[in-house]
Every structure is written in structure tokens, then in C-alpha cells.
Structure 1
């Protein structure tokens, strides 16, 4: 399997993803999975600019991402999948993509969210999606940067239920 890492990050590609994670994991392709970003030319341009030199970028819907992964399209590459919300990863798993571990990195605060950590904020739907991912055997961790120790995410989430 070509999937080296998966990460939830509301900022998608930015300094931590572009420099720290990509370098540490020797990533050759970043895949952004988001049904809205696919149709937003301005946001896609920004993602292209933020992608490090020498690293390929795919911006795909959940359906297309699952189809390409399951067809082995990225088997010779080192793939980092990034999405804003857990529902994108739940969609991949429901379509048959194996995701053994998901790093919950950054989910921005809004008026509707509850803080799980300083950088992870959730709404009820996110909690339900995380529960569904965990029920499907995905190990959920919280780790902001590679130098941080990963923490089990579900016990952190339990504190805001």
C-alpha cells in the first residue's frame, strides 16, 4: 500500500504539512481529499503553490480518491492523504480503502465547536464520524508535528462528549 500517512488538517497544505511531515516521511505525493476544494480553482492554486518542489499534488473527491487508490494508481509512490474533516476519511474507509491510522492534526475553532485540544475543535458530526472510524478499526492519534509524541485521540475526545 502506498499510503504512508493520513492527516486531518483544516489548513490542508501549509508549513507543517509541506515541510515537516512531507520531509520526515519522504512523501512523493500529497493527496487532498475534499469534494468542495476540487471545484474551487482559487483554493487549488493555493494548494499547488504550497506543495513542496518535487512533490506531486492530487486534489480529488472522496469517490475519485478511493477509486484511484483501490486501482493501485499510487502504489509506487509515498502518499500523504490530507483532508479537513473526518467524514472524508470515513468515506474512503467505507469505499474499501485501508487506513490503519489517522492523525488528527488541526481542526479550527468556530462558534459551533468544542475544544478537544488547543488545536483540535469538533462539532457533533465530527464526533460521530470519529466514533465510526474507530469502530471500523482505524487507530486515531493526535500529533501536531513529527517531533511530538502521538497521543491516543479517542480518550481526548471522550472529555468533550
Structure 2
């Protein structure tokens, strides 16, 4: 398995952002690990249409994605893995997908959510998960597009 990037982005497959990362990294397959979209044929279809031409897309529940990624299903692909938020990211890791660096793109604002960076907000529960991942040694890098500046999200969440 060649996972080029694991990205947290609550929009999952999203035009310009996904195109930027797939081109920059030479990705030829996107794995969306998301229980809701994986169970919704219409949403899955829309996600596939948003992918860049020539890039394969697999959408599946979080634990199934971890099993497929570690079980050899994507061994010949250069993969971009996308999850909706830190809870799904933690579940992916608990299900056996090893990773030490994560790209954090966009996690929307909303009631009761704390601003961590310009594009990343967290509920109290999500903040705890971000902290646990950072304490476990996962490098959390907030970066919108490959050519833009990077922010050490792990350091931000550990400072509280």
C-alpha cells in the first residue's frame, strides 16, 4: 500500500482542493473512509463525479476502509485517504491503519465549536481526539493546498 496522504476534510472530495493534492502527489486513487457517505448511493455518486478525471474513487465505511488499505486491496495504487473529521481519523487508526502524519484541511465551524486555525474548528469531543492523536505522536499539519503555508495543529491543540 502506498498512501501518499491522509487528509481530514469535512467536505471529503472537493474540487480544487482534491485536484491540487492529487496532482501534487501523483495520486491515482482516492479512498473516502466515511460511514454516512459509504451508506448513501446518491452521495457516493456525487463524490465520484467530483474526483479528478483518471483518479479512481472508493467510498466505504471507516473500518472497511482500514481493512482494505491494510489488506492489500490498493497495493498498486498511490492513494489519498480522506476522512470527515478527527473522530473518523482516530477510528481509522484504531482499526489498524498506521500513520504518523496527517494533513488537516477543512473542518467547519458551528455552534459550540472552537476555532483552531482559519479553516479548522473543533467540538469539545473533537478537541480531545486531536489532543490524543498529537500525544500519540501523530504529526497534525493544517494546510489547505500543497503550495500554501503549514500550521502545526498538534502544537496548537496540545497548548489548549
TM-score range, shorter chain: over 0.9
Residue 127 of structure 1 aligns to a residue in which SS?
helix
Match status 1:22 vs 2:22: yes
1:36 shift after superposition: 1.1
1:69-108 paired onto structure 2 within 5 Å? 69-108=69-108
- What residue is the counterpart of 2:43 in the other structure? 43
C-alpha RMSD of matched pairs (Å): 1.4
Residue 76 of structure 1 aligns to a residue in which SS?
coil
- What residue is the counterpart of 1:149 in the other structure? 149
For structure 1, which runs of at least 5 residues remain unmatched after alignment?
none
Residues 10-57 of structure 1 show CA distances to partners (whole Å, capped at 9, x for unaligned) of 111112333111111111111111111111122112101101111000
Q: Would you say the 8 A contact 2:15–2:51 is kept in 1? A: no
- What residue is the counterpart of 2:7 in the other structure? 7
Q: Would you say the 8 A contact 2:7–2:83 is kept in 1? A: yes
- What residue is the counterpart of 1:57 in the other structure? 57
Moved over 6 A (4+): none
1:158 shift after superposition: 4.4
What TM-score do the two structures reach when normalised by structure 1? 0.93
Residue 111 of structure 1 aligns to a residue in which SS?
coil
- What residue is the counterpart of 2:111 in the other structure? 111
For structure 2, which runs of at least 5 residues remain unmatched after alignment?
none
Q: Distance in 2 between matches of 1:106 and 1:130?
A: 14
Number of corresponding residues? 160
What TM-score do the two structures reach when normalised by structure 2? 0.93
